[in-house]
Chains A and B, each alone.
Chain A
Amino acid sequence: MKKNSVVFMLMMSVTLGGVSVLHADEGFASWLFSVERKKGVEPVTDAIYNEECSACHFPYQPGWLPEASWQKLIAASALEDHFGESAELDEQTQQHIINFLTANSADKSYYKRSKKIMASLNKDQAPIRITKVPYIIKKHDEIPEKLISKNEKVKSLSYCEKCHKKAEKGIFDDDSVFIPGHGYWSD
């Protein structure tokens, strides 16, 4: 009996040790065995990205779009006309931001939402709008227009944080949705 428990302890520590090593590698196995499930989308950790992008809008997490999308969107020439506005950056900052986005893009993430986004896109698809990702469209298709585009307090699907109260933390579950002028939402 005593011998059994020692063996059990040994096995447990090997398993746990293995999981933590895998976790550091950010591989598929780590995602599969991870004790802490990666449910939403990976939160933004980069201070420069946060400061530069949130000056004008919600700092969308890199895990919302594949690398090819970010390459198109944040290219220096593209920033001259960023959805109708100049979002030009000095070269150093632009490089920093594109590196951060492409290193953490949806195709490299093991967070659930990023996985779903990649699964909903064809290999050659690289939309520059998160709202054009099939998965995002599908997830919002039951919500009537009057609550989003015709809701003065929301205006568009682009403003994640208006309804997703934990958006900055990368949490997008139904429980954290509160539609301004309407209330909690559950489908």
Chain B
Amino acid sequence: MKKYIGLIVIIGLGCVSYAQANMDDLYKYYNPQGELTFGAERGKTLWHKKHLDKKGKERACTTCHGEDLRKSGKHAKTGKVIDPLAASVNKERFTDLKKVKKWFKRNCKWVLGRECTDQEKGDILKYLSQL
């Protein structure tokens, strides 16, 4: 048993550091040179800002994700339930760079009609990480 304790501790520490590093990994990914400063307040403003689609209908991040990110959202078109975005209730959020990249690309296009800049993505992540 004793000889396994070291191994268990190492695995345990590995898991903890991996989970904690993820948010920082994301900031680093969107700010590789370190010249940007991300701010939650700017992220919040952008998150709630309403944009008009081609038909003049309002859309924002909240259209699908809802006003309370600790609760489920709903896909605007299909009605499919979207799991809560807040990491405080959904541990899977912001742990997979591939997913983060995919949804930023799709959803920025849907809300803003264009891709978001690295600055905007970092700001949004700062805001979301606090919820």
- Chain A residues lying within 8 Å of B78, measured Cβ to Cβ, are 56-58, 159
Q: List the one stretch of A40-48, A70-78, A84-92, A102-110 in contact with chain B.
A: A84-92
From DSSP, what is the main secondary structure of chain B's interface residues? helix
- Chain A residues lying within 8 Å of B102, measured Cβ to Cβ, are 88-90
* Count of residues in A whose CB is under 8 Å from the partner chain: 15
Contact digits for B93-111, partner A, Cβ 8 Å, 1 yes 0 no: 0000010001001100110
- Chain B residues lying within 8 Å of A1, measured Cβ to Cβ, are none
Decide yes or no whether A6 CB sits under 8 A from chain B: no
- Chain A residues lying within 8 Å of B106, measured Cβ to Cβ, are 85-88
Decide yes or no whether B80 CB sits under 8 A from chain A: yes
CB distance from A97 to the nearest CB of B (A): 13
Contact B80 A56, beta carbon cutoff 8 Å? yes
- Chain B residues lying within 8 Å of A24, measured Cβ to Cβ, are none
Decide yes or no whether B3 CB sits under 8 A from chain A: no
CB distance from A116 to the nearest CB of B (A): 26
Contact of A90 among B75, B77, B79, B98 (CB under 8 A): B98
- Chain B residues lying within 8 Å of A55, measured Cβ to Cβ, are 80
Contact A56 B98, beta carbon cutoff 8 Å? no
Q: List 8 A-B contacts (CB under 8 A).
A: A54-B80, A84-B77, A87-B106, A88-B106, A89-B102, A90-B102, A155-B79, A159-B78
Residues of chain A touching chain B, judged by Cβ–Cβ distance below 8 Å, are 54-58, 83-90, 155, 159
